[in-house]
Amino acid sequence: MSYNGECFCGAVKIEASGEPEAMGYCHCRSCRSWSGGPVNAFSLWNPASVKVVAGEEHVGTFTKTPLSERKYCTQCGGHLMANHPPLGMVDIFSATLPTLDFKPGVHINYAETVLPMKDGLPKLKDFPKEFGGSGEAVAE
């Protein structure tokens, strides 16, 4: 299965193959600030599964911390994805892949939430242990 997406103006087109490793919501301040929303819906992919198929010359990168290399279109500013080198994963923002059946499985960085969500999904204080966090769950 392949999923196609693009930036806001369509200058950059991406393709993700297979299925994401995980999907969920991030509540950290960095994601909120970058996304312009109270929560960011993510889909994590193996980097080999993600490619820019058009407009690579228009892909800009902003790196605030070593954890995230945020990718965007230099023409329209539309967000595309974030490489997470320490995790060995690429986060494609779920809205960038309109045909992806978004099935969130977890909330991360829920200790920082500004939008409490009561959906029955696990809520982690920070990151899962596998990604260097405490793995500690917090109450809904």
* pLDDT given for residue 2 in this prediction: 96
**pLDDT (tens digit per residue) in 11-40:** 999 999 999 999 999 999 999 998 889 999
**pLDDT (tens digit per residue) in 50-109:** 999 999 999 999 999 888 999 999 999 999 999 999 889 999 999 999 999 999 999 999
3-state helix, strand, coil in the chain (%, to 5): 15, 40, 45
The model's pTM is 0.92
Rounded to whole angstroms, the Cα distance separating 69 from 91 reads 10
* pLDDT given for residue 67 in this prediction: 87
* pLDDT given for residue 131 in this prediction: 82
